[in-house]
Amino acid sequence: MKSMMLAAVSMLALCACTTSADMAVADNPAPAAQATPAAAADTTPSYGAWGVDTSRFDTSIAPGDDFDQYVNGGWRDATVIPDDQVVAGVGYDVYTRSEAQVRDIITDAPASSNIGALYQSFMDEPGLEAKGAAPLLTRIAAMEAIPDKAGFTRFMGATARKLGSTLISTQVIPDLSNPTVNTLAISTNGMGLPQRDYYLDPKFAEQLAAYRAFVTRSFELIGSPDAAADTREVLAFETKIAELSWPVAEQRDINKINNPMTMAELQAYAPGIDYPALFAAAGIPTDQKMIVADNTAVKALAALYAETPLATLKKWQRFRMTSAASAFLSKAFVDSQFKLSQEMSGAKTQRDRWKRGVGIVSGSLGELVGQTYVERHFPASSKAAMEDMVANLKVAMGKRIQGNSWMSAATKAAALEKLALMDVMVGYPDDWRDYSVLDLSSDDLLGNVIQVGAFNWDYELAKLNKPVDRKLWAMNPQTVNAYNGGLENKIVFPAAILQPPYFNPRADAAVNYGAIGAVIGHEISHGFDDQGRKIDATGAVRDWWTEEDGKRFEALAKDFGAQYAKYEVAPGHFINPELTMGENIADLAGLQIALDAYHASLGGKPAPVIDGLTGDQRFFLGFAQAWQNKTREQAMIQQVASDPHSAARFRVLGPTRNLDAWYAAFNVTPESPFYIKPEDRVRIW
């Protein structure tokens, strides 16, 4: 299983909400031709005459008093979140637009293809009802037959390729000290809730109660004779894991998780688990060097494993297998899992089955769909325009670095080198993954999902100890998102995000720079945020800043974080500035360099005035519109607890109130609730 903390190190993504339209396509598609049907282009929303829908404004409030409410308040007041969603907004609109496009791609696929077979296996509700729990119970029975803890250790390792869970998560990533070669990284695993505080902090009592009920239902569905007792035992075990786990903000500190060890060193440091047996069962060389991410937690978890009875471990595994399989079984299992989702996120009704099926196919066979998605929906003109904007933004970032008032010449030179070597990928990968070894069945959904999981693990394992291929993508073309591949010093912009209102061929340039330009700037500046600054131009983890520069940066970041610590997203739930620091810095820097790039694009000419609005005004309006969002309170609580991104509202308010140009554009006065005195505005880049 991939560790979330390790994923955060290797990939810094843009979006806080789930807007990734990962869809699917037919087997053996033709090479991408970059042709977009005219009809598709004609139906793309235009967002007003020049890229911003002014009818959604709340003109009862001044822009400086609450800029997010001014731009998005009219829309928010009139919008009811659909019962099957936890969020509404432009990001979700783009997601659903892509979802519908990819549904057509999936349903066009031959029934005999992997795409068609996987989708049919998910949509075959009568077949799933007839099988009931049988596909799961067969696998649980094999686990229950394990005679001893040595066998259980091997079973955990083998879950890299089959149904089940492991207490030690493994992932292949670029070596943090030698980024030209892939290595193994391990970390703790085992909790079913998002992070430790859900077990330990009383403010999550309702969520813990909902999870407890889900565990009990899961045991009941597989015929446990005493589901309540089994639940108590499993929750007691997971609570012990929570107690030894690192706080979520600590897990993103790249210096703390860079702990290389040999196998012998790991065995001596964290005894209690037979690591060679665990690794061998996963197909990992038993003499493998590795990075032990949350090292003290791994040590404590190994000791916990050694002292935990096999019977308890089997009950935990039985539940984890049931939880993992529930979405792919009969209605009783699906409904049980959805009830937990309801109580955690606030969704009122289950999403249509076809939508869930599209998501499963997309997530399983991502680049297979990507080829056809690109053919049908991503014109070459969008790729070219995006590449031009990225080049402009990199120039603007370079000037920001050169003009920086607190950074020494030596650090500036190293920063400019990193910027120059930063790879840019737009739309889709140069080479597509080969899925031909898969042989999916139209009547074995759980088996299909397990087969895909094994396929993906083998794909990752094949990279181990091999040179890093920086051209590989961690997102699919049909994903509405973007990311900075931190350890590979690259920025990636999938095709699906290049749609209105993020990127709009019909829009005024100011709007595009405020929307997609700020996204580009955000991803570029991740290379220089509180964690990106610890990674050099080659992707190696090392401190390439002078000590004095580091101290000045940290002081600025602390001041910026203090602003966010005051933002309350739900009653009693405030943004955690330590968790969100990197994304907040990227939002601020991204907006600033996007504005610089927009000004440079004017070529020394004054910006036109459109509908009485200046270029800078349209720029900021386009930026705020791109974060138009309404989220259920339960989902917001979950986000603020575990997501490194701030709530959308404060991704508008937080950066703008620190930019002098925003104050000038909208005549913001000291009476504004969000006014910051010029000398107190944070200026990092």
Over residues 80-102, the pLDDT tens digits come to 999 999 999 999 999 999 999 99
Say whether both 305 and 387 belong to one domain.
Answer: no
pLDDT of residue 319 exceeding 60, the answer is yes
Rounded Cα–Cα distance for residues 24 and 360 (Å): 9
| Gyration radius of the chain's alpha carbons | 25
Q: Which of 31-35, 200-204, 257-261, 652-656 has the lowest mean pLDDT?
A: 31-35
**What is the dihedral angle through the alpha carbons of 477, 482, 486, 488, rounded to the nearest 10 degrees?**
30
Say whether both 158 and 221 belong to one domain.
Answer: yes
In a domain, 176, yes or no: yes
Strand 168-174 relative to strand 182-188, pairing = antiparallel
Percent of the chain with pLDDT over 90: 93
* Phi/psi at 568 (5° precision): -100, 115
For residues 584-612, b (16+ Cβ closer than 10 Å) or e, as one string?
A: bbbbbbbbbbbbbbbbebeeeeebeebee
> What's 365's DSSP letter?
S
Say whether both 248 and 382 belong to one domain.
Answer: no
pLDDT at 3: 52
pLDDT at 375: 96
Residue type, 555: A
CB 641 within 8 A of CB 248: yes
Q: What is the mean pLDDT of residues 593-620?
A: 98
pLDDT of residue 191 exceeding 90, the answer is yes
Rounded Cα–Cα distance for residues 477 and 496 (Å): 6
pLDDT of residue 464 exceeding 80, the answer is yes
Say whether both 486 and 618 belong to one domain.
Answer: yes
In a domain, 405, yes or no: yes
Number of alpha carbons in the 13 Å side-chain half-sphere of residue 425: 23
- Confidence band for 23, pLDDT divided at 50, 70 and 90: very low
Say whether both 268 and 406 belong to one domain.
Answer: no
Strand 573-574 relative to strand 568-570, pairing = antiparallel
CB 279 within 8 A of CB 194: no
In a domain, 27, yes or no: no
The alpha carbon of 93 is separated from its chain's Cα centroid by a whole number of angstroms, namely 18
618: closest CA among 72, 73, 50?
50
Q: Which of 328, 348, 375 is the last residue of a domain?
A: 328
In a domain, 436, yes or no: no
Say whether both 274 and 383 belong to one domain.
Answer: no
Average pLDDT score over the chain: 93
In a domain, 346, yes or no: no
Sheet containing 260-261, strands listed edge to edge, beginning at the edge strand earlier in sequence: 168-174, 182-188, 290-292, 260-261
Say whether both 375 and 523 belong to one domain.
Answer: yes
For residues 225-261, b (16+ Cβ closer than 10 Å) or e, as one string?
A: eebeebbebbbebbbbbbebbbebeebbbbeebbbeb
Burial (Cβ within 10 Å: 0-12, 13-18, ≥19) of residue 277: middle
Say whether both 413 and 267 belong to one domain.
Answer: no
Rounded Cα–Cα distance for residues 481 and 583 (Å): 14
CB 503 within 8 A of CB 382: yes
pLDDT of residue 36 exceeding 50, the answer is no
pLDDT tens-digit profile of 330-373?
999 999 999 999 999 999 999 999 999 999 999 999 999 999 99
- Confidence band for 514, pLDDT divided at 50, 70 and 90: very high
Burial (Cβ within 10 Å: 0-12, 13-18, ≥19) of residue 312: middle
In a domain, 89, yes or no: yes
For residue 670, give the CATH number of its domain: 3.40.390.10
Residue with the larger pLDDT of the pair 268 and 39: 268
- Confidence band for 45, pLDDT divided at 50, 70 and 90: low
CB 315 within 8 A of CB 233: yes
Number of alpha carbons in the 13 Å side-chain half-sphere of residue 368: 24
pLDDT at 415: 97
pLDDT tens-digit profile of 641-681?
999 999 999 999 999 999 999 999 999 999 999 999 999 99
Helix axis angle for 577-601 and 380-402, nearest 10°, is: 100
Q: What is the mean pLDDT of residues 68-76?
A: 97
Q: What is the mean pLDDT of residues 266-274?
A: 98
pLDDT of residue 44 exceeding 90, the answer is no
> What's 183's DSSP letter?
E
* Residues facing 183 on adjacent strands: 173
Q: What is the mean pLDDT of residues 582-605?
A: 97
pLDDT at 9: 55
In a domain, 353, yes or no: no
For residue 297, give the CATH number of its domain: 1.10.1380.10
pLDDT at 20: 33
Strand 483-485 relative to strand 182-188, pairing = unpaired
pLDDT at 40: 38
- Confidence band for 5, pLDDT divided at 50, 70 and 90: low
**Residue 306 belongs to what domain range?**
133-328
pLDDT at 78: 96
Q: Which of 21-25, 415-419, 522-526 has the lowest mean pLDDT?
A: 21-25
* Residues facing 426 on adjacent strands: 493
pLDDT of residue 21 exceeding 50, the answer is no
DSSP E strand boundaries for 100-194: 168-174, 182-188
Q: Which residues contact 91 (CB under 8 A, 6 or more apart)?
A: 15, 17, 19, 480, 629
Say whether both 12 and 151 belong to one domain.
Answer: no
Say whether both 164 and 306 belong to one domain.
Answer: yes
Say whether both 60 and 184 belong to one domain.
Answer: no
Say whether both 90 and 141 belong to one domain.
Answer: no
pLDDT of residue 569 exceeding 70, the answer is yes
Rounded Cα–Cα distance for residues 108 and 96 (Å): 18
Number of compact structural domains in the chain: 2
Helix (H, G, I), strand (E, B) or coil at 184: strand
pLDDT of residue 7 exceeding 60, the answer is no
In a domain, 35, yes or no: no
pLDDT of residue 27 exceeding 80, the answer is no
